[in-house]
Amino acid sequence: MLTSDDRTLRAGVGTYTDCSGRTPLQSGEAAIDTCIHGRRYFLGHNAGVFTPLLHMQPGDHLEWTDGHSAHHRLRIVAVRDWTPSNGAPPVVEPDVVAQFQTCVREDGSLERILDTVEE
């Protein structure tokens, strides 16, 4: 389960395993992209479960309970827009453990990326 402190975001989390990116992500779910390594990479739609990410800023928090029932409190350290044709976005600092991606434009030509560290 993934939640925001203000509870505007509350979503189950699955996995996304299509490294070609051709399989559509369902609008009612969040998923961890297993093709991106070195951190957890969460995907979710706007409009959809990740719409609340568009209003979050550095210092805001997310909480994620993983498949082993371990709780992770994540603090947002950076928010930026990214063009997907540039590949996977690099982390903004070495301590980043997770990134969150949602569309800014419906056609997917611009994405919002949030980098988070664990507290």
SS3 53: helix
Q: Give the per-residue pLDDT at 7.
A: 94
For residue 77, the domain's CATH number is 2.40.260.10
Tens of pLDDT along 77-103? 999 999 999 999 999 999 999 999 999
Three-point CA angle 64, 67, 70, nearest 5°: 55
User: For residue 88, how far is the Cα from the chain centroid?
Assistant: 12
Q: How many structural domains are present in the chain? A: 1
Domain range enclosing 21: 2-118
The pLDDT-based confidence of 25 (bands split at 50, 70, 90) is confident
Token pair 């309970």: residue: 65
Using alpha carbons, select from 83, 81, 86 the residue that is nearest to residue 115. Answer: 81
pLDDT at position 105: 92
d(CA 1, CA 22): 25
Mean pLDDT of the chain, nearest integer: 95
Q: Residue 27: is its pLDDT beyond 80? A: no
